[in-house]
Structure 1
């Protein structure tokens, strides 16, 4: 088992990464008699709810659960209210710990519920998708979507622990595994060229969920994110770099309707658009763009815009992005492979040109 610590100014929390961590009661920062509310969905619950409940009962916890509808389209205020209702009906107070058992949607909604309920209760992340394990479960970003924009209603709220069991990935559809690899590739592209090089050598092992490669990969991604969060917990500076491809990708998700494309699939195309834009600005060499495209393709990810989505249709969503300041579009771009920066006033014509370049195979 591996452990990465997230070090913040006044607190820290562990990220445990290994096989069968779900069943190890020693990893849970809980005590006998403590009330716990597990938040999950029916898809995940059929595999892991009973196992987790049994582990918590070994500790002596009093366990309840609430199941949310499955899918990105349910990452909304209605699902948030389901959690609040369950907590209130069960007479839960500030001494209850919320546990998010699931992918990024469950983690984000449960985390925001924990941040809001009685002005804040503890919560634990148990991410069961690769995307959640390498990205969304770490760092305390919690939110729900609005029909006009993704993650527009939320809070920065840190978990007290993240428990990653790589065995859960073996019940994950291949499409979901691939979507998680988009966020993995992002880390190498923005901050860690040696890791990007490692991914080029080992991507096939990750696609097939080979244990050693998988655990190293997850730990490396968590360490990169933990280091950034330690410097910039509430995204005032460096943390924005983690959003490479996300401004384009969120536009795809919102336009198509949440859940029609997976988040990682949309981010994959968004990374291509950011790479092409960076090349047009003279930062990336064509061979660098080709390396990114090839690696994404080897992870079975899309690299071109969805059929029927026009370049002009991206901009209204992009202008509602949280990085927009004073009406100026800010984008995460690449100065070179392994080094990202925030462009503070992206030229809209160049943005449209980059999108157009990714609407056909190139």
Structure 2
């Protein structure tokens, strides 16, 4: 399965040859080839999960490059088409002039009211005008050819993107199976379901829940996790997306939260930015499916709005380990995932992930913890 997908991604740079996204597509193809090699060599469930995670990430990067390339091609085609439509009158005039110039001259066409001098001047003007008209006609031909080429690029790229979406969905399904079959994740503690239920029922805010989250653990063991201090400000975002709302920015209802909101495409892969303990996973308050990670004592990463969750409370996950998928995977969502509309503004991203960072249960601005840029 993956070998066929590698060949597919290998075609993306050719489709985007005239676009800035070609380099990104080439990088994604290289990533996918490496992931395929990892999958071929996988001897354990852990190796298979790692390879499939890399496969999905490579697909998401490649598809993002294709969407950007298609958007650029579409904008350029629209621009050229409007320019040509605005010059319809000029084109008609060029054609008429060129046809007159190219017609077989009759003897009277060389006569001029001012006599031989006027005829000579007219001939000189005509000699100067002809190259200019030919040059402008050649420019129009190039613009028309550009429009035709851009339309061909979009048609082929749309077909390739459709196959790419099918490929990444296959990889998502395989990853879900691999995570369900995996039994080798280390566990720091077991969850006390009674205490968990009591805490959920009694907590009215995220802060109240976070303050008592340690009470749901039993038989907890000490674990050694990498020091996070040197990576603060340079952690990768857990999902590919665009920041739609910053910390403490009010939403349409006037509600401000201390976290940031990312817009993502349906089914986007959510991974752990660093090694961490899963302190909680499940529905919580009005936040939907929530995963709370503890990368170091008294520090919590809260991710809310997932569609599917792979991890269990009490487990210890590694850096870049898959923790779930965004929701929205449906027939209707496929059209959203194919769309390039609003790619730069995030309006085409139908799913949202809320990210909050708490240190000693005091909210921190996630922008000071995570790298932020276009498309994650």
Give TM-score scaled by structure 2 length.
0.23
The higher radius of gyration belongs to 2
TM-score (normalised: structure 1): 0.23
